[in-house]
Amino acid sequence: MNANQAAESLLASNQQKELEDLPKDYPLSTSEDEGDKDEERKHQKLLESISSLNGKDRQKLADRSEASLKVSEFSVSSEGSGEKLVLSDLLEPVKTSSSLAAVKKQLNRVKSKKTVELPLHREEIERAGTPLEQEIFNLLHKNKQPVTDPLLTPVEKASLKAMSLEEVKMRRAELQRARALQSYYEARARREKRIKSKKYHRILKKGKAKQALKDFEKLQKVNPAAALEELEKLDKARMMERMSLKHQNSGKWAKSKAIMAKYDLEARQAMQEQLARNKELTQKVAASESEEEGEGQEEEEEPLVPDLVNEVQIKANGLNPWMFRNHFIDAKEAEVQKDLEDPAEPEAQETSESEEEKAVVEEETLLKEFEERRSLRQKSELNHMAEPVHRRVTKDPSSQEVLSDLRALCQKLSTENHQSGKQELSSARTAQREEPAREEEEPMLLQRPERARTLDELEELGREGCVENEELPRTAVEGLQLEKNLSNHIGAPKEKKRKEQMIDLQNLLTTKSPSVKSLAVPTTVQELEDEEERDQRQIIKEAFAGDDVIRDFLKEKREAVEASKPKDLDLTLPGWGEWGGIGLKPSAKKRRRFLIKAPEGPPRKDKNLPNVIINEKRNTHAAAHQVQVLPHPFTHHQQFERTIQTPGSTWNTQRAFQKLTMPKVVTKPGHIIKPIKAEDVGYRSSSRSDLSVIQRNPKRLSIRHKKHLENNCVD
Amino acid sequence: METVPEPGSNVPPKKDRLQTKKKKPRRYWEQETTGTAAGASPGPPRKRKRNRELRPQKPKKNDTSKKFRMSKKPRELKSPRPQRSLSGAQDPFAGPAPVSVEVVQKYCRIDKSKELPHPKTKTRSRLVVAEAQEEETSVRAARSELLLTEEPGFLEGEDGEDTAKIRQADIVEAVDIASAAKHFDLNLRQFGPYRLNYSRTGRHLAFGGRRGHVAALDWVTKKLTCEINVMEAVRDIRFLHSEALLAVAQNRWLHIYDNQGIELHCVRRCDRVTRLEFLPFHFLLATASETGFLTYLDVSVGKIVAALNARAGRLSVMTQNPYNAVIHLGHSNGTVSLWSPAMKEPLVKILCHRGGVRAVAVDSTGMHMATSGLDHQLKVFDLRGTFQPLSARTLPQGAGHLAFSQRGLLAAGMGDVVNIWAGQGKASPPSLEQPYLTHRLSGHVHGLQFCPYEDVLGVGHSGGITSMLVPGAAEPNFDGLESNPYRSRKQRQEWEVKALLEKVPAELICLDPRALAEVDVISLEQAKKERAERLGYDPDARTPFQPKPKQKGRSSTASLVKRKRKVMDQEHRDKIRQSLEQQLQKQEKAKPTGARPSALDRFVR
């Protein structure tokens, strides 16, 4: 940006000079009308330039204006109205509109307040302080332009009187030409600006930068003081940059580019460029200069923006850096050719020719020359390998730093997208690894850095604690490593727990149990003494060292536990509500949403028994023999269970069994069982009812009742 | 039938003046006869009498049970009026004999420590009845212990003398002739190491030599029933449910012979069998084969019930748990697996040894399991849920054979020596510190079994068969209906039929045999849920409180609401109280109980 800015400022100053020159060249010589128009135009232009300084009002410019000879005489058209445009009108604030009524009111309110006026006034004064403002005011005052009154200035009045017709005509013609030229340039500039080719712009920018540099050198030779000033400016820009950190990857644009970078080569390049710019801006100029001096003649052509960054980036994406390099250079050359042709096309179309055009051509030829030279140099590099290594090494730190920046960015991004981050990382790493390979001149060694890369990645993976990515190209060794990593990270607590259990089990099985001192020792053992016994034990131990019974058992138990766990129900439908296909997994969110977690069953019976696996499966065959329905009066199965604890003759003595199974009613065969009479069940209650009947209407007592009563009394 | 007249004899005489001599409860047929004699008119009073007679029966039952419970006190005080005998002399020990509470407790099967959910009145009465019944039956069982007249034998050294030093010859010298006759040696060096098996009654002995010699004999009388040579390697031999049938695991297949030595069956589906086990109540012959299969053969119907793949290579160690008929298999990876024919997978797997398991034995109560492994260790495991080793011992040479006696003695065959360890009582595990007895044989041990109901340990070895005397090994009293050593042929046949009728289905074999006395809760819940789904509501759910309608203006809406609110509040309070109690309990539990309270604690605030 530094160079660009410099170039722009230079250009601007030139233009201003031109503009300023014009009235000097023709002071008061033009006719009154024309002079007036001219000044108006100038003023308009100034205003425009002022507004364009803001940078936001660019849209105000007309969308399209072809370069043509037919140019309206007046830059500010007043068609339709037919009124004469008055400067005071232009200077006045925006026309009041109904939509602005509210704003107006507010403004009025603000105006009515006295306190607000003062700073405003001061602002005005300050505005006059800036060079442009000063110019404006100078202009206004020079011409003695009445600001408030729409009357002619004294100069106008004088010129109205002074000019002859011929002079006026000449002046007019000249002015017309100048205006046409200006509009043409404007149009051209606009068109150029609207060219979408980034390459073109890049080259243009570079060219400008080079131009600026050249100018600067020239200036150094001609006017060292001015050059020093310029240098200071650059330094200041650098400082500003350092303070603002504008070109760090923190901006909106940079972030968006960073996201795009993985898909888009250009975006990546842009990002690289920006980083490089930042790097460069934050670097001290003097140091770079000394470096350049140290480098010698070659470094003269080095642009401020190192191309290497781009080169590296491109190479990083390629498969074979050796192959790619040539290819890239070729491509670049072709590009340059194209670029050379590109501006030529509008040239052909153009009718008029000017010095500026020539300058452009010159610039482009220069650019071309430079490129050619550069390509030549690179070719020579290819031929002599030893030389470029030296040069490249000097370059490397910066590029590597850039890469480190990039890596940092990628890590930041990796939270969003692991994969892209990894890719970037890998590319960055390959780029880093290329250097030694190049030194050794062994293209076949490419495999080694790649493997190293993946291993590094694995480390990175471990650090980030992210899950295994299946898309990574893996060798068997890596796979192993990965497994280890995973087990280390994920299964750490489990492992610990298991270890505890293991210790317990070890204790259980290896506790030294006291040996039996028996009177009668088996004949084969009898001869053995204690030491020999110990030897034998040793032998046994050795014999069983191979087959780790405990580990096998634990493994088996783990499997059993896993198998007995209730399984979660996964109801995700792949491709439902999102894209589906081979290699596409439903999103984690979706899986979480549709995963029905099985309720955790009761704790296993062998939870605390390390040496036991108890089968938790239900014996359905036996369950078929169990009671499955609670009989009536019982509300809880435990109550019923209590009543069936002493079943059958197996658990009871013969007598007890007989008594338990004795029927409630014993009948004798061969005897008639008479049906139950009401009197059998409760004749007392019946008698009572009789009594009640009596009490109610004693007169209506039947004979039967009386008899009954008598009977009762007898009882 | 016995009790009904007995208590009746105590009470009714007070009230029944007319019929003092007849104490039996009146039956309808008796009433009929008397009724016909006396006429129809005095029916009601007679019935009343009967009612009175019958009514006190219930309390009577309870009375008797109470008597049983407080049986420690002398009975004379209790009986209101001692029964008079014909001679007029009083019975000094009237009423039933006293029973000790401990013995009764032994036969109690209801675990009263378990809290029951609060029952309704109807349910409660049922529960009360069930408990009373249980108590009565347990008392009866305790009383029947009187019939166990025999006492177990024992061996005691003179003060400080180690019983292990006592040799068989000494024992034989000391015991009576009948017992001494039980010690014998069979010198059968020709047909290799012998496996042996006693029949369930303990009367018969079958043995099979490696080189094909198979013989069965009544070992008490030494009467040989059969002796054959099967001309094939004999791996194992086992009596089936009676001494009339004999299963022999031969080199190729499983053969079944009768007591005449006639081959009845050749079971080709059980091939290369290494070990045999017979489950007497299920009529199952379990065979463990070299191919790694555990096969259950139902000998009553001749069907293979289940063939389970143990997936652990060659099976050569097998034993049964007599308590629950679970088969224990020992494996070469140091584990012992427990099997039931109802399950395809082992019920339990226990890691017992670092080396392979050489022998497994389970005691008759099903509480302890002894294992010995290639690591020369002998361990006793607790089988009541925890499966943890209770004691372990390293032997100079690992035990190749193990056997438990009926009273919990553990015999281990190590090389040519047999060691026997004894515990404190019947249900206690054998203490492995001091051997109870040791004996050296003329050859290496190949088979071990304690004889049921005899203090004898049969040892099959390479030199033949040895019958050792082990005092206190066996159960002194036998159940004549279950396994009667002295039964006749007819009795045996009778028993066979009964046993077959009472055959337990194979699928009922599980770790806890009392599980059958439990409700299948899972299917119960399932049925409940299904019912609720079918009906659309849960019929067992508690209905919300609905205040009863009242009269005289007390059923106004306000009062209804008030009453409702009252009940709700009460419930709420109860809930809170409960939760508070729980919290308190938790806090009490959480309190550290380690440090003793200091005197200065009172100043701590």
* DSSP per position, A139-168: HHHHTT--SSS-SPPHHHHHHHHH--HHHH
pLDDT beyond 80 at A630 = yes
Ramachandran category for residue B321: left, alpha or beta (phi over 0 → left; psi -120 to 50 → alpha): beta
* Interface test with chain B among A642, A668, A674, by most B beta carbons within 10 Å: A642
Share the mean pLDDT of chain B.
84
Decide if B227 contacts B248 (C-beta within 8 A). no
B503: confidence class by pLDDT, cuts 50, 70, 90: very high
Q: Is the pTM of this model over 0.90?
A: no
Contact A626 B515 (CB under 8 A): yes
Q: Which among B28, B133, B385 has CB closest to A673?
A: B28
Residues 105-134 of B with CB under 8 A from A: 109-110, 114, 116-117, 119-120, 122-123, 126-127, 130-131, 133-134
Give the closest residue to B334 by CA, choosing from A175, A508, A303, A358.
A508
A656 contacts on B by Cβ (under 8 Å)? 136-137, 140-141
pLDDT for B545 = 86
Region A195-201: mean pLDDT is 86
Closest-CA distance, B232 to chain A, in angstroms, reads 30
C-alpha A286/C-alpha A276 separation (Å) is: 18
* Interface test with chain B among A536, A551, A639, A668, by most B beta carbons within 10 Å: A639
Please give the residue that has the higher pLDDT: either A65 or B77.
A65
A46: confidence class by pLDDT, cuts 50, 70, 90: confident
> Percentage of residues in chain A with pLDDT exceeding 90?
7
Q: Following DSSP, what letter does each residue of A182-239 receive, concatenated?
A: HHHHHHHHHHHHH---HHHHHHHHHHHHHHHHHHHHHHHHH-HHHHHHHHHHHHHHHH
pLDDT for A125 = 54
C-alpha B133/C-alpha B101 separation (Å) is: 16
Q: What is the DSSP letter of A568?
A: P
In degrees to the nearest 10, what's the CA dihedral of B371, B377, B380, B383?
Answer: -50
Give the closest residue to A406 by CA, choosing from A435, A392, A427.
A427
Please give the residue that has the higher pLDDT: either B420 or A25.
B420
**A492 to A469, A486, A553, B175, B485: CA distances (angstroms):** 20, 9, 20, 67, 64
**A194 to A200, A207, A269, A647, A713: CA distances (angstroms):** 11, 18, 21, 103, 133
**A372 to A362, A366, B565: CA distances (angstroms):** 15, 10, 100
* Interface test with chain A among B129, B417, B433, B504, by most A beta carbons within 10 Å: B417
C-alpha B164/C-alpha B182 separation (Å) is: 20
- Distant-in-sequence contacts of B424-430, Cβ < 8 A, 24+ apart: B426/B365, B427/B365, B427/B367, B429/B363, B429/B367, B429/B368, B429/B380, B429/B382, B429/B390, B429/B391, B430/B368, B430/B370, B430/B380
pLDDT for A31 = 45
C-alpha A32/C-alpha A25 separation (Å) is: 16
Neighbours of B383 (CB within 10 A): 24
A691: confidence class by pLDDT, cuts 50, 70, 90: very low
pLDDT beyond 60 at B210 = yes
pLDDT for A6 = 47
pLDDT beyond 90 at B248 = yes
Residue B330 touches chain A, beta carbons under 8 Å: no
Neighbours of B531 (CB within 10 A): 13
pLDDT for B138 = 92
Ramachandran category for residue A458: left, alpha or beta (phi over 0 → left; psi -120 to 50 → alpha): alpha
B480: confidence class by pLDDT, cuts 50, 70, 90: confident
pLDDT for A272 = 84
Q: What is the DSSP letter of A584?
A: -
Closest-CA distance, A493 to chain B, in angstroms, reads 25
Phi, psi of A271 (to 5 degrees): -65, -45
A680 contacts on B by Cβ (under 8 Å)? 47
Half-sphere exposure of A492 (CA within 13 A, CB side): 6
C-alpha A172/C-alpha A38 separation (Å) is: 9
Decide if B256 contacts B264 (C-beta within 8 A). yes
pLDDT for A241 = 75
pLDDT for B517 = 87
Q: What is the DSSP letter of B340?
A: -
Residue A527 touches chain B, beta carbons under 8 Å: no
**Tokens in use for B541?**
């759910």
C-alpha A651/C-alpha A435 separation (Å) is: 91
Q: Which tens digit of pLDDT belongs to each residue from A572-620?
A: 888 888 888 888 888 888 888 899 999 888 899 888 898 999 998 888 8
ipTM passes above 0.85: no
Region A323-338: mean pLDDT is 46
B26 contacts on A by Cβ (under 8 Å)? none
B284: confidence class by pLDDT, cuts 50, 70, 90: very high
A682 contacts on B by Cβ (under 8 Å)? none
Q: What is the DSSP letter of A342?
A: H
Closest-CA distance, B486 to chain A, in angstroms, reads 21
Residue B140 touches chain A, beta carbons under 8 Å: yes
Locus of tokens 């005071």: A88
Locus of tokens 């480190």: A404
B395 contacts on A by Cβ (under 8 Å)? 515-516, 518
Show the DSSP H helices in A321-385 as ranges. 321-349, 355-383
Decide if A285 contacts A233 (C-beta within 8 A). no
Q: Is the dihedral of CA A611, A616, A620, A626 positive or negative?
A: positive
Contact B389 A508 (CB under 8 A): yes
Residue A633 touches chain B, beta carbons under 8 Å: yes
Give the closest residue to B368 by CA, choosing from B415, B407, B310, B316.
B407
Residues 512-551 of B with CB under 8 A from A: 515-524, 527
Decide if B60 contacts B7 (C-beta within 8 A). yes
Please give the residue that has the higher pLDDT: either B483 or B59.
B483
C-alpha A26/C-alpha A246 separation (Å) is: 45
Q: Which tens digit of pLDDT belongs to each residue from A127-171?
A: 556 788 788 878 777 766 665 555 677 777 777 677 778 888 999
pLDDT for B443 = 92
Contact A553 B386 (CB under 8 A): no
Contact B109 A651 (CB under 8 A): yes
Best mean pLDDT range from A23-37, A242-256, A444-458, B149-163? B149-163
Decide if B214 contacts B248 (C-beta within 8 A). yes
pLDDT for B54 = 35
B136 contacts on A by Cβ (under 8 Å)? 656, 659
**Tokens in use for A183?**
């509009």
Contact B347 A614 (CB under 8 A): yes
pLDDT beyond 90 at A468 = no
